[in-house]
Amino acid sequence: MRLQHFPASWKHAHIAVIPKKGAKSSPSDYRPISLLSAISKIADRAILYALNFTKEHKIIPDEQFGFRAHHIRSSGYPSGRTHPSRS
């Protein structure tokens, strides 16, 4: 996390197909499952913990709305401003 880099090799997953109940004659009768490496799952948990910590302790200001649940703005411009072409 200190390096702010998630190695490409950790992003590779093995895909396993699991049959659904019933007939197995069509590709839609199977469910794909992605199997990630253990280190990838550990890194994912660590990142999630860090994000939850920042949320619980209100470290990220409310003005930072990108990629945050329930922080959607009607425009990408600060409050009271409009799109430059609509001024």
Mean pLDDT by 10 residues, the chain (87 residues): 80 91 84 92 89 86 74 60 55
Which residues, in sequence order, are CB contacts of 75 under 8 Å at separation 6+?
82, 83
> Which tokens in the block code for residue 71?
């922080």
pTM: 0.51
pLDDT at 5: 81
DSSP class of residue 62?
A: T
pLDDT at 79: 56
Residue with tokens 């799109």: 83
The backbone torsions φ and ψ at residue 86, rounded to the nearest 5 degrees and listed phi first, read -105, 10
pLDDT at 69: 72
Distances (CA, A) of 59 to 22, 53, 70, 84: 50, 8, 16, 31
pLDDT at 7: 86
Q: How far apart are CA 62 and CA 68, in angstroms?
A: 10
